[in-house]
Amino acid sequence: MNAPSTDPALLAQIYGTRFDGLAEYRNQVWKTLIDTLFSEWIPPSASILDVGCGHGEFINNVTASQRTAIDLNPDTTSLLDDSVVFIEQDCSESWPIEPRSQDVVFSSNFIEHLPSKDAVLATFRQAYEALTPGGRIILLGPNLRFLVGEYWDFFDHHVALTDRSVSEALTACGFVIDVAHTRVLPYSMSTGRKYPMWVLRLYLRMRPMWRLFGRQFLVVATKPGE
């Protein structure tokens, strides 16, 4: 039997329940995050690949010359824009993508769902192979250092990660770390209060607030040029 993180039917059931009724709100949040936070590292001319794209809130809303997404959830394909190239597979296996063809590889709240650290390293190596020299990988995720037991409240969390361990793994795969923010966003959009977008924009611009409320890391790393 497949592990929970690689069982497509179970993934569809878990995420369908977890994010039920949140689609409109999550889309608004991701549009704001892209415009206010991630646009610094994603030029509109970039080719971008979203690993573990989920319901497509990031890849559907980002502006790029070419958009590609990888996920195992069988529901994903019906949720993506027609212009997004979808690859339904395990991201730790070889990607059917031309080497050095992607300017940006992005992943949010996903790598902790992989079944092992070996799978994390394999995914990072696939990203390195897919990126152009000078291309970037952008990773956002829950930081175990600030979550204690809450990290394990989600059944499909398998790998314990922090900003430091993610940075170390990326460096081992050949990347150069550009940015490693210990605290950026609050923990989860699937539970808790839903704030208006002006509050989110204000929060993102007031970086001292990140130290008070942020419990997710943001790591940006570059594949060295040749």
pLDDT (tens digit per residue) in 26-35: 889 999 999 9
Residue ranges covered by each domain of the chain: 4-222
Per-residue pLDDT, 19: 47
| Residues 93-117 pLDDT 10s | 999 999 999 999 999 999 988 999 9
Phi, psi angle pair for 209, to nearest 5° = -70, -25
Distances (CA, A) of 103 to 50, 136, 160, 197: 11, 6, 28, 29
Place of tokens 């690993």: 51
CATH topology of domain 4-222: Rossmann fold (3.40.50)
Query: What are the E-state strand segments in 124-213?
Result: 131-142, 176-181
Least-confidence region, from 72-76, 172-176, 202-206? 72-76
Average model confidence (pLDDT) across the chain:
87
In this prediction, residue 4 has a pLDDT band, given cuts at 50, 70 and 90, of very low
In this prediction, residue 8 has a pLDDT band, given cuts at 50, 70 and 90, of low
pTM as predicted: 0.87
Query: Helix axis angle, 163-172 relative to 117-130, nearest 10°?
Result: 60
Per-residue pLDDT, 18: 45
- Residue 141 in contact with residue 188, Cβ under 8 Å? no
Per-residue pLDDT, 143: 92
In this prediction, residue 139 has a pLDDT band, given cuts at 50, 70 and 90, of very high
User: In angstroms, how far is CA 26 from the centroid of its own chain?
Assistant: 14
- Residue 162 in contact with residue 143, Cβ under 8 Å? yes
Percent with pLDDT over 90 in the chain: 69
Percent with pLDDT over 70 in the chain: 85
| pLDDT higher at 199 or 187 | 199
Per-residue pLDDT, 26: 85
| Residues 34-55 pLDDT 10s | 999 999 999 999 999 999 998 8
